[in-house]
């Protein structure tokens, strides 16, 4: 599994960044992004299947630290390319990203 994360389009005026999340799961039926930025909602941020079998979603996130996971066919999966893996408030391992 491969995950590519890119940050672009940072504007100091808005203090947010466009963050691209990509997850390689060619056999998955569905992939969602869930995290503290969407109140851990399991269905609010569906990722789109790409021609190469990866899944992609771009979101505008606020500056700061964010915890997240991918939900691959309903199962939580850590981002193997995350900045860090940490234990969050629910006592569950999650991926971690920090934005300036």
What is the per-residue pLDDT for 1?
45
What is the per-residue pLDDT for 2?
45
Q: Say what the pTM is.
A: 0.81
Is pLDDT at 13 greater than 50 in this prediction? Answer: no
Listed residue (81, 86, 64, 78) closest to 34, CA to CA: 78
Residues 38-48, mean pLDDT to the nearest whole number: 96
- What domain count does the chain have? 1
The CATH number of residue 22's host domain is 2.60.40.10
Rounded to whole angstroms, the Cα distance separating 23 from 54 reads 5
pLDDT category at 14 given cuts 50, 70, 90 is low
What is the per-residue pLDDT for 83?
83
Q: Which residues pair with 63 in a beta bridge?
A: none
């Amino acid at each position: 599994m491969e995950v590519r994360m890119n940050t672009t389009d940072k504007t100091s005026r808005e203090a947010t960044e466009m963050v691209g999340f990509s997850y390689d799961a060619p056999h998955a039926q569905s992939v969602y992004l869930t995290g503290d930025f969407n109140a851990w909602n399991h269905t609010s941020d569906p990722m789109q299947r790409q021609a190469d079998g990866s899944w992609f979603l771009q979101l505008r996130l606020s500056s700061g630290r964010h915890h997240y996971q991918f939900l691959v066919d309903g199962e939580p999966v850590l981002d193997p390319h995350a900045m860090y893996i940490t234990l969050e408030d629910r006592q569950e391992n999650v991926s971690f990203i920090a934005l300036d």
